[in-house]
Amino acid sequence: MKKSDIQELIQKIESFNAKSHEDLEQFRLKYLSRKGRIPELLAKIGQAAKEDRAWMGQQLNKLKQLANHKFETLQEELTESQASSFNAREDITLPPAARDIGSYHPLTQTLQEMKSVFFRMGYTIADGPELEDDFHNFTALNFPPEHPARDMQDTFFIRKDEENPANDQVLRTHTSPVQIRLMKQEKPPIRAIMPGRVYRNESITAKSYCLFHQVEGLYVDKGVNFAELKQTLISFAEQVFGKGIKYRMRPSFFPFTEPSLEMDIWWETETREGQWMEILGAGMVHPNVLRAVGLDPEVYSGFAFGMGVERITMQRYGIDDIRLFYDNDVRFLEQF
């Protein structure tokens, strides 16, 4: 190897400039990699004349150091250049770009509003299991064995004991069992709501589903009367549907309340003719229910009410198919 060859390599390395990391990688492969130009020359030192080997080794080592220094310098410059370019392009003090996020399910929105209404009335929340026994789901609520009222609700039986119905286990058909548990655990005054899922063995159609959500309420104390129940229901309807809502109350039957009523509101939209729509059932707690939980009906009285979250949501938003709540269709859910 001639001195002129080494000088030529020095000039090429010193004059090299990389515009990108890809250019710099090509430089490394060409001069510094295992098969690059400098390692190739270092491997040929042994083929040179003895008197030239020391000189060639010194020159090639200097050349290697020069190439390494050039590579490291350019690498730092490219990294700093990219960082400054990013800082100039991105203002990190700006708020991030808006991202699509989820929202509360329409049933959850309605349920939260219903809870807020009753919170303002002084009600607390009580909860209980969804898998219930016969006593809490039926017997304590004045559903005697073989009573025809049991046929009002199609039940999912987890365990059915024909000889001893007390051993039956069911998916609760209403949240009323929570009322029984609450009255057994606490002494009056009791004022609470019981929101939760309930289950009915019904055909799935536009108007019915095998599960739905209820909000039931209970107020038990000395001297509780029907007028208080009426005012509570009117206040609820006006807060949920608006002050000008038209309503009516009509007699009904429930095994666990006496007297019992159902409340309707007048419902009409631009595309639907007005009609009466039931929103809830209610009544004064039956004396047999009070006795079942150890309360004296001569001392205490109370009222209870129950309403379906799905039905109220459908009426509020003009939804005519209950199955939409459970299809998980984003096109439907994003409207809320």
Asked whether residue 326 carries a pLDDT value surpassing 70, the answer given is yes
**Is 106-128+174-333 a domain of CATH 3.30.565.60?**
no
DSSP 98: P
What is the average per-residue pLDDT within 231-260? 93
pLDDT at residue number 75? 86
- Residues 179, 180, 185, CA angle at the centre, nearest 5°? 95
pLDDT at residue number 10? 81
* Residue 157: band (very low, low, confident or very high) from pLDDT cuts 50, 70, 90: confident
Domain boundaries, the chain: 3-89, 106-128+174-333
pLDDT at residue number 152? 56
* Residue 89: band (very low, low, confident or very high) from pLDDT cuts 50, 70, 90: low
Cβ distance 194 to 177 under 8 Å? no
Asked whether residue 230 carries a pLDDT value surpassing 80, the answer given is yes
DSSP 45: G
- Who has greater pLDDT, 59 or 276? 276
Flag the least confident range among 98-107, 108-117, 269-278, 327-336. 269-278
CA-closest candidate to residue 1, choices 40, 48, 36:
48
- Reported as type and span, the H/E element at residue 132 is strand 131-133
What DSSP string describes 170-201? EE-SSSHHHHHHHHHHSPSPEEEEEEEEEE--
- Who has greater pLDDT, 324 or 148? 324
Asked whether residue 50 carries a pLDDT value surpassing 70, the answer given is yes
Burial 24-42 (b: 16+ CB within 10 A, else e): beebbebbbeeebbbeebe
Alpha helices in the chain (DSSP H): 3-15, 21-31, 37-43, 50-89, 106-120, 134-137, 176-185, 226-241, 287-292, 309-317, 330-333
pLDDT at residue number 191? 97
For all residues of the chain together, what is the average pLDDT? 87
- Who has greater pLDDT, 93 or 288? 288
Asked whether residue 23 carries a pLDDT value surpassing 80, the answer given is yes
Tell me the residue type at 80: E
Asked whether residue 61 carries a pLDDT value surpassing 90, the answer given is no
pLDDT at residue number 319? 87
pLDDT at residue number 193? 97
